[in-house]
Amino acid sequence: MLSKQELAGYIDHTQLKPVATYEDIEKLCSEAKEYGFYSVCVNSCYVKYAVEKLAGSNVKVAATVGFPLGTASTGAKAFEAAEAIRAGASEIDMVMNVGLLKSGDYFAVREDMEAVVKAAKQINPDAKVKVILEMCYLNPSEKVTACQLARDAGADFVKTSTGFGPGGATVEDVELMKKLVGDSMGVKAAGGIRDLKTTMAMIEAGATRIGASAGVAIILELDRSKNG
């Protein structure tokens, strides 16, 4: 079993609700500092505020781009990514355009991803870009293609889900993604991860990052399991 510090290092502590307030983001950042989460993941309008609240800590800020549908224009997604990095984000979680993938326009899908990668890394070469594939919408062949396109576009991670679709992360999807990208990219499991058992199953399947709004509950459950 991982230590509390090790497990916290996997977690992107997340608050992406459309009704999230400054107070909610402040709480998110306070919890991230207290528990030592890897990052907070917020909508791009809150990046600057989160950076201010996390000043002096090691917690990073990840910003969503084209969230949650992925259907904004490529230029708009690239601009949003650039603005988020300028505001202090060190990671971008962009949503793939699922409709373009299903249309078979793989060039446009890759171009969309590449534009965001380029926009982020031009400002901060160390910035990480995660591509949310929204696996619940994809058939087996499309899942393979989506992972290949993200890798070819220069992204740093593939990610299972937004958490806003009809399905979240599954062990089977994480295993497939890890098999497809190997050690060349990270794999982020997100969507519906609310307890320690699910979290550990995702890590054992190959996830190198966990996106969860229940990060505190997961860490407290680990504490209880060790002390019980």
Known catalytic residues are 93, 159, 188
On the CB side of 158, CA atoms within 13 Å amount to 30
Where do we find the tokens 């230590």? Answer: 3
CA-to-CA dists, residue 171 to 36, 110, 198, angstroms: 25, 26, 9
Q: Which residues are registered as beta bridge partners of 93?
A: 64, 130
Q: At a CB cut-off of 8 Å and minimum separation 6, what does 219 contact?
A: 4, 7, 8, 11, 35
Angle between helices 140-152 and 171-181 (to 10 degrees): 40
CA-to-CA dists, residue 158 to 55, 188, 190, 203, angstroms: 28, 6, 11, 14
Going by DSSP bridges, is the β-strand pair 157-159/128-132 parallel, antiparallel, or unpaired? parallel
Tokens of 125: 């070469």
Give the Cα-Cα-Cα angle 87, 70, 207 (nearest 5 degrees).
80
Q: At a CB cut-off of 8 Å and minimum separation 6, what does 223 contact?
A: 4
Alpha carbon distance 133, 51 (integer Å): 27
Q: At a CB cut-off of 8 Å and minimum separation 6, what does 214 contact?
A: 193, 194, 195
